[in-house]
A = this chain, B = another copy of it.
Amino acid sequence: MLNFDYHIPTKIFFGKGQLAKLGPEMKKYGDSVLLVYGGGSIKRTGLYDQVVEMLRQNGISWQELPGVDPNPRVESVRAGAAICKEHSLQMVLAVGGGSSIDCAKYVAAAAHYDGDAWDLCIDKSKIKQVLPVFSVLTLSATGSEMDCGGVITNLATYEKIGGGVADQRPKASVLDPSYTFTVPASQTAAGTADIMSHTMETYFNRTPGTYFQDRVAESILKTCIHYGPIALREPENYEARANLMWASSWAINGFLSDGKANVWTVHPIEHELSAFYDITHGVGLAILTPRWMRHVLNEDTVSKFVDFGVNVWGISADQAPYDIANQAIERTEAFFFEEMKMPSTLTQLGIGDENFERMAKKVRKTALEDGFVKLTWQDVVEIYKACL
């Protein structure tokens, strides 16, 4: 286990009706806020009304940044920062999924920056000061509600960049599982794949001696495998939504990666897919993951896949390591593509091989060189091709 500093000060108000606790918490930081949200589903569900009523009751004035895209654009960040500056807003509140929260985190940073917001995505050392960020979560997926990261897309440059600093971590987040009852099946599936991928990015790792973190990672994977299909069948199953929601935060808040030399691989490979084709992030992850697994399964990594098979999928340990590993990968495929009913190929999404080389060459070097298994851009092309 490597040395690490652990510090996750975000307050979580978890459960039904916990929104009421957010106002008094926000008042400790200010009395004006930018409300950041997406395509308007929060207006249809009535959550928007609840949030503005909560702000009103607590004497918090607000401006709005609606229309944040599923892969949030730097244009939204620029627009939000401009509103914050114009009205001297003191806080940023995202109501939505990871896209709104990610956008809010960069708005909060850009509100204190004189140059172009994209600078902060490219170089986080330029983030010097950040408005306090809060969130009301409506989708279990990115874990943005409890971590300090965000991913912003620049369609002009075909770039999708993830990053963040400690101050971008939300001061408080409301996790009310009932807000996810209306999440459609396809998004529930994509969100679950995202949670699992966050977990696997650190689980498939070669730092020795991280037994405890690895067992907790398996707990998150088992939670997704257990409750994902239930949430699909019974969208208003509180227990399923609650477990997925809490697991989503822990998959990526930092706990799992503490003590590990931790470089993600599958996310960066997927980011190029989303940047080029604007597909749903979780769908791209689900399609890539089993292909990546087959590509990196070898003598050095098989023991990790055995752990994965035995501890996560309950495969009998009384078999040859490669048999267990291959069954584990097959179970992963069956889970995503059968149980969770997700698209299983890029072809199904209308994506051909025309940009694979270009995309593969854009994947950041460290993700390929320092990940679980060292890859070249040619490996990435092979993985993309296996997804057709």
Contacts and interface: CB of A to CB of B under 8 A. Distances in A.
B1 A11 contact: no
A278 to B, nearest CB: 32
A133 B246 CA distance: 29
A17 B3 contact: yes
Given A212-B250, A242-B259, A246-B259, 19 more contacts: A1-B238, A3-B14, A3-B15, A4-B14, A6-B11, A6-B14, A7-B9, A7-B12, A8-B8, A15-B259, A211-B239, A211-B243, A212-B223, A212-B243, A212-B246, A215-B218, A215-B223, A216-B216, A218-B219
A46 interface: no
A242 B1 contact: yes
A361 interface: no
Contacts of A223: 211-212, 215
B209 A243 contact: yes
B11 A5 contact: yes
Contacts of A1: 15, 238-239, 242-243, 246
Contacts of A156: none
A115 interface: no
Interface string A1-36: 111111111111111111001000000000000000
The interface centre, meaning the residue of A13, A21, A215 with most chain B CB atoms within 10 A of its CB, is A215
A212 B208 contact: no
Contacts of A183: none
B8 A21 contact: no
A220 interface: yes
Contacts of A10: 7
B5 A13 contact: yes
A275 interface: no
B18 A12 contact: no
Nearest to A16: B3
A346 to B, nearest CB: 32
A295 interface: no
A228 to B, nearest CB: 12
A340 interface: no
A212 B247 contact: yes
Nearest to A216: B219
A226 interface: yes
A219 B312 CA distance: 12
A306 to B, nearest CB: 14
